[in-house]
Amino acid sequence: LTHLPPTPISTLEKAYKIAKEVGLKYVYIGNVPGHPYENTYCPYCHKLLIKRIGFSVLENNIVNGKCKFCQKKIAGVFLP
């Protein structure tokens, strides 16, 4: 697919907003280093859960399956 132009950031942002509006809780976009939507936020307290850059996780604020800030359970399977 390298012959195709990259998806415009505005399109990715629109998809992000639509996903949030329909109730998806853990939405993020990729391949936009430094963009705030590249990260995952707690659906309850809205603090940063997972900070990413590219394919790397720089910060993980999920402890024992819960948001480390508000202690609400975060859906998912978490590896040690």
Domain coordinates of the chain in residue numbers? 9-67
Confidence of residue 46 (pLDDT cuts 50, 70, 90): very high
At residue 78, does pLDDT exceed 80? no
Confidence of residue 79 (pLDDT cuts 50, 70, 90): low
pLDDT at 80: 63
pLDDT at 30: 87
Mean per-residue pLDDT, 45-66: 93
Q: Which residue has the tokens 């590249």?
A: 38
Mean per-residue pLDDT, 23-39: 92
- In angstroms, the CA 42 to CA 22 distance is 16
Q: What is the pTM of this model?
A: 0.82
